Amino acid sequence: MTKLCGLRERKKQQTRAALVDAALALFEAKGFEAATVEEIAATAEVSPRTFFRYFAAKEAVLLAVHDGEFDRVVAAIEQGATLAEAILGTLGDDHEQFRRVQELVAHTPALLATFLERSVEQERRLVDLLLPAAADERQVLRTRLLVAATYAALRVAIESWLTTPGSDCAQHVRDALAMLEQGLVVTG
Amino acid sequence: MTKLCGLRERKKQQTRAALVDAALALFEAKGFEAATVEEIAATAEVSPRTFFRYFAAKEAVLLAVHDGEFDRVVAAIEQGATLAEAILGTLGDDHEQFRRVQELVAHTPALLATFLERSVEQERRLVDLLLPAAADERQVLRTRLLVAATYAALRVAIESWLTTPGSDCAQHVRDALAMLEQGLVVTG
DNA sequence: ACGCCAAGTGGCAGTCTGTGCCACTTTGGC
DNA sequence: GCCAAAGTGGCACAGACTGCCACTTGGCGT
């Protein structure tokens, strides 16, 4: 965990938050590609050089927003929760920042690409986590498929949620997962 | 289809192919990010400016390799094939260029991101194609889920295929789709 | 055979992302 | 208070990509 004792560490978190806020606002105001790192840094009162010390790339600012949520999913699984339970659990307290980011992602191909790639990384970690120590080949495949399909369902659910004003995100996810579990007619 | 009558058109296809070959070879030799557009263009005996007239971005060279295959999937569906049939149909004649590209994608996060984004675009087109004119909300959701899950299975299958030397790609895909159809235990 | 038009190309200047390096300030431990 | 370490800014630079303009060349009518 991050220490919050020193002044140094507090300033860092503060700068980080300022960068995220600035980026989110600017992306929403003028679009992801039109907003430059220079502007974001200026808004957060920091040099562009420093921006890249906090985030490896322009897109990474938004990635950072959700990292905490994934950690909670991992934690839940480590305590014995199923994948579905873990995901649904973190969706409860909807930070509206989550919606803002997802809205941006849905409208910006470059951001979508970044997020999908991050999803694959997360999928790999989850597979390792869910897999028993000694698993046969078939078990591995089944788990990979489970996680990948769950993420696919999550993505479909979020899209559906974004286009349905006032709806509950968790409910969309539950519906999608239920459909998945009951078995898709792949041949239809 | 592309006309092949004129000399002009032939030269264009030739340049395009030269760029693809050069890019593929250079990416394999020194890695995607280490290979510069300048080098690729030079190898294909063309100016860097011209490279970007053929491909919108450095990654797009590899995207182009698979565009033809997706068109075949679309064509098959328009002639009444199911999604699974259409996909398995195009996988038969395995161009080894397909494997080379997938190998690169698997090892290069930036390429993976681009390909996943392209996958989402393809998914959207397939959903429109598979959906009857008047479909209720539930039908739409089910179709989106079907396509997204199928692509997830495809991705898992390809990964599995790449890491199993000498195996048949189509067989991996069939196995994955079968698992999907029989219903995943989401709560496991 | 000639010449015109449009398509294709190259070069150049310029923007933006991202990185390495070095000097400078600040913080936390002693 | 002093010193190493952490954090920051500025600079120079590479590489991806774009707009613009001048130039060449293939297609085509006459």
Residue B58 three-state SS? coil
Q: Which CATH architecture has domain A60-181?
A: Orthogonal Bundle (1.10)
Residues with CB under 7 A from strand C: A 6-9, 11, 35-38, 48-49, 52, 56-59; B 8, 11-12, 15, 45-47, 49-50, 53-54
Decide if A152 and B156 are in contact by the 8 Å CB cutoff.
Answer: no
B interface test, pick of A32, A62, A156, A171 with most B CB neighbours within 10 Å: A156
Residue A182 neighbours by CB distance under 10 Å: 10
pLDDT at B2 over 50: no
Q: What is the mean pLDDT of residues A132-160?
A: 94
Q: Enumerate the CATH 1.10.10.60 domain ranges in chain B, comma separated.
A: 7-54
Q: Which CATH architecture has domain B7-54?
A: Orthogonal Bundle (1.10)
Residues of B with CB under 8 A from a CB of A: 82-85, 109, 112-114, 116-117, 119-120, 141-142, 144-146, 148-153, 155-156, 159-160, 175-177, 179-188
Single out the residue of B151, B74, B145, B162 nearest to residue B117, CA to CA: B151
Single out the residue of B28, B110, B150, B178 nearest to residue A152, CA to CA: B150
Decide if A148 and B144 are in contact by the 8 Å CB cutoff.
Answer: no
B161 close to B172: Cβ distance less than 8 angstroms: yes
Contact residues, chain B, for A148 at CB < 8 Å: 152-153, 155-156
Q: B121 or B166, which is more confident? A: B121
Q: How far apart are CA A113 and CA A178, in angstroms?
A: 27
pLDDT of residue A3: 52
Q: What is the mean pLDDT of residues A80-102?
A: 90
B179 phi-psi bin (left φ>0, alpha ψ -120 to 50, beta other): alpha
CA of B65 to C1' of D13 (A): 34
Q: How far apart are CA B187 and CA B184, in angstroms?
A: 9
B98-145 tens-digit pLDDT: 999 999 999 999 999 999 999 999 999 999 999 988 889 999 999 999
Q: Name the DSSP class of B35.
A: S
Decide if A181 and B184 are in contact by the 8 Å CB cutoff.
Answer: yes
DSSP letters for chain A: -----SHHHHHHHHHHHHHHHHHHHHHHHH-TTTS-HHHHHHHTTS-HHHHHHH-SSTTHHHHHHHHHHHHHHHHHHHTT--HHHHHHHHHSS--HHHHHHHHHHHH-HHHHHHHHHHHHHHHHHHHHHHS-SS--HHHHHHHHHHHHHHHHHHHHHHHHHHTSTT--HHHHHHHHHHHHHT---TT-
CA of A49 to C1' of D2 (A): 30
B15 close to B54: Cβ distance less than 8 angstroms: yes
pLDDT of residue A188: 46
Contact residues, chain A, for B142 at CB < 8 Å: 179, 184
pLDDT of residue B10: 93
Strand ranges inside B52-138, DSSP E? none
pLDDT at A2 over 70: no
A64 close to A55: Cβ distance less than 8 angstroms: yes
Average pLDDT of the residues of chain A: 92
Contact residues, chain A, for B160 at CB < 8 Å: 141, 144
B31-70 tens-digit pLDDT: 999 999 999 999 999 999 999 999 999 999 999 989 999 9
